[in-house]
Structure 1
Amino acid sequence: MTDSNLSKAANWAAIATAGIAVAALCIAVWQIRVGQQTQREASARDAFKEYLKLAMEKLDFADARLGKVAKSENERSRYSWFVSYFLFSAEQIYTSFPDDPEWSAALSDQVCYHRAYLQGYEYQRTLKAHYAQPFYEFVEKSLSHCPN
């Protein structure tokens, strides 16, 4: 090989090395993003699973439509925290799976269990400010479709 050919080969090798490095960087960034999304989804599932465990322990709170939520201030306060925990976990699920029809249906069902509270003064005037607009709109839409 001549010096000219060696020089060209060295230049092509440098370009190929740079291209491979850029491709590797793109793949690394993609892997990090996929890993972060997977972690968010797993955390959301775990939070919702914990809510469901709590619902099994607190059946009186799990379905407020049954009218078993006690009228005492203490019980109403505990119920409010129960619903707040539900909304926290539901928002995580909704944010992680916004276009999943099965999750949307499951969350809508849970919203309907707490319709009276979620349509009440405390939630409508205070708590809704704590949630992202898309999730709040999802809750409102779910409330409008609850069966009587």
Structure 2
Amino acid sequence: MAPADSAQIVSAAAAVVTSAVAIVAAKFAYLQIRSNAELARENTALGAHRQLLCLCIERPELSSSTLMLKHLMRSDFQDILNDLNDESERALWFASFVLNTVEQILESNPRDEFWKATMAAQIDYHRELLDEVWPEWREHYGPGMQTFVDHELGLPPPN
């Protein structure tokens, strides 16, 4: 074998090895980016949920519909959107915060069954209030959130 042939073989082998290393590096980079994106989504959800839990600890009287009714000295939430005072307004803002948190978590983790179940529980804690206010507030949220809350409240799909 001539030295030129050996050089060509070595050169071709080096090109193949370089290409293989580049492919492995690209695959590793892709997996790293994907992993970082998943971690960022999970951190977003954990942070939002932690904030909600802290607010529930700070204001336990607003952390569920049952406790809200007792705190507001009401037997139900009928007409709460029109019968406003400082405390009922605070309760409505609390519910809005809950809905915003649920939407943020579901949008950042749309296929995560753990987060879906956890957020369904949040909707259930506030079911009595949401039964009253959701029809009025529904259009302020994205389609995915609308579908989620409608389902959790047992509402039929809109026409």
- Aligned-residue CA RMSD (Å): 2.4
The equivalent residue for 2:34 is 33
- Please list, as runs of the form range in 1=range in 2, the aligned pairs for 1:25-104 lying within 5 A after superposition: 25-66=26-67, 67-70=69-72, 72-104=84-116
Question: Are 2:139 and 1:129 equivalent residues in the alignment?
Answer: yes
Q: What SS class does the counterpart of residue 70 from structure 2 fall into? A: coil
> 1:69·1:76 contact (CA, 8 Å) conserved in 2?
no
How many Å separate the matches in 2 of 1:72 and 1:128?
A: 20
Change in 2 beyond 3 A, CA 1:104/1:28: same
Question: Are 2:150 and 1:140 equivalent residues in the alignment?
Answer: yes
The equivalent residue for 2:76 is none
1:52: how far off?
A: 1.0
1:100: how far off?
A: 4.2
Deviations 1:82-119 (A, max 9, x none): 11221222223323444444433332222122223323
Candidates 122, 129, 135, aligned match of 1:117: 129
Q: Is there any run of 5+ residues in structure 2 with no aligned partner, and where?
A: 73-82
TM-score, with structure 2 as normaliser: 0.74
One-letter code aligned to 1:104: K
**Percent identical residues:** 29
1:69: how far off?
A: 4.6
The equivalent residue for 2:79 is none
How many Å separate the matches in 1 of 2:123 and 2:98?
A: 9
TM-score, with structure 1 as normaliser: 0.79
One-letter code aligned to 2:88: R
Count, aligned residues = 143
1:134: how far off?
A: 2.4
The equivalent residue for 1:17 is 18
How many Å separate the matches in 2 of 1:131 and 1:72?
A: 23
> 1:69·1:79 contact (CA, 8 Å) conserved in 2?
no
Change in 2 beyond 3 A, CA 1:49/1:31: same
1:65: how far off?
A: 2.5
User: More deviation in 74-83 or 45-54?
Assistant: 74-83
